[in-house]
Amino acid sequence: MDRFQAMRLFTRIVELGSFSRAAENLGLPRASATQIIKQLEAHLGVRLLQRTTRQVRTTLDGDGYYQRCVAILADMDEMESSFSQAAGQPRGRIKVDLSVSFGRLVMIPALPDFCARYPQIQVDVSVTDRQIDLIREGVDCVLRIGELRDSSLVARRLTVLPQVCCVSRAYLARHGTPQVLDDLAGHRAVDYQSASTGKSIPFEFTVDGRVEARSLPYTVAVNNGDAYVAACEAGFGIVQVPAYHVTRQLAAGTLVEVLAGFRAPPLPLTVLYPQNRHLSPRVRVFIDWLAELFAEPKL
């Protein structure tokens, strides 16, 4: 039995809550995964996992063993990465999660620079508009836009992103241009509903140094950033988005900014990663690259 392989498999089963998903994640047959864990439990002389038809949970011994495995495997990865770095550059795979629009419009276009600097690092990019569990899903770090809820993750703020209200020219031709907030009476918005909560997110405006929330009636509601902008371009109403999302449309004149004197507070951009794991050199250089990328506001 390869004990390090067994430890990696065991930690992935705990984190993913599934033998089959862990086996797939590590490229093992499901039957092999079952046999490896049986051998590991026999070697240790304890039951590590409680298995039912619906879930897999650690026993008390299994929980303690998991904590030790995480630390040992992180140390081993750190050691191997340090030798790789001494011999050249960091190598290996990192998995990063991004929101759909930010990934498409900002991060993917910027990645060639990182990959040119660190050609031995593979970057697996997942793009979602939902909250994810980094440990269970095997993600090294995530980039999130907006104020963060309480989290056990380590958070490093990278920059702030300005927000704009904009609308299509066709909409303005029909409804006129709002100059002050009271002009919003009679206007319509594209409603943005959170993908995680389903709740509508109101507009925010800065008025005399304070933030004021406003909700407008709508015809179309969406829960995705790209669909939000597309609905605006189709003339369904006003949207409020990070400026990076509509840079091209504003430059082309297909969308027009409105209420520029009442812009909402900028949104923080933060990178998060688990605190119970050592930061490997490959993840560290990626986070440092992010900090450099956003050191000066470009968006």
> 45-59, 97-111, 228-242, 256-270 — which is least confidently predicted?
45-59
- CATH assignment of 163-265? 3.40.190.10
Most confident segment among 97-101, 122-126, 235-239: 235-239
pLDDT at 286: 94
Residue type, 239: V
Q: How confident is the model at residue 132 (pLDDT cuts 50, 70, 90)?
A: low
Residue type, 185: A
Does the pLDDT at position 71 exceed 80? no
Contact 294, 270 (CB under 8 A): no
CATH class (in words) of the domain with range 3-85: mainly alpha
Report how far residue 101's alpha carbon sits from residue 99's, in angstroms, rounded to the nearest whole number.
6
Q: How confident is the model at residue 84 (pLDDT cuts 50, 70, 90)?
A: low
What are the extents of the domains in the chain?
Answer: 3-85, 89-160+268-293, 163-265
**Furthest-apart CA atoms within the chain: distance in Å:** 76
Report how far residue 96's alpha carbon sits from residue 256's, in angstroms, rounded to the nearest whole number.
33
pLDDT at 136: 65
User: Given 3.40.190.10, 1.10.10.10, 3.30.470.20, 3.90.1720.10, which CATH number is that of 89-160+268-293?
Assistant: 3.40.190.10
Question: End-to-end distance of the chain based on CA atoms, in angstroms?
Answer: 52
Does the pLDDT at position 201 exceed 90? yes
pLDDT at 69: 86
Do 89-160+268-293 and 163-265 fold alike per CATH?
yes
Query: Which tens digit of pLDDT belongs to each residue from 160-196?
Result: 999 999 999 999 999 999 999 999 998 999 999 987 7
Ramachandran angles phi, psi of 227, nearest 5° = -65, -35
| Pairing assessment for the beta strands 189-192 and 218-222 based on DSSP bridges | parallel
Mean pLDDT across the stretch 192-214? 91
pLDDT at 281: 83
SS3 296: coil
Report how far residue 204's alpha carbon sits from residue 215's, in angstroms, rounded to the nearest whole number.
9
* pTM of the predicted model as reported, rounded to 2 decimal places: 0.72
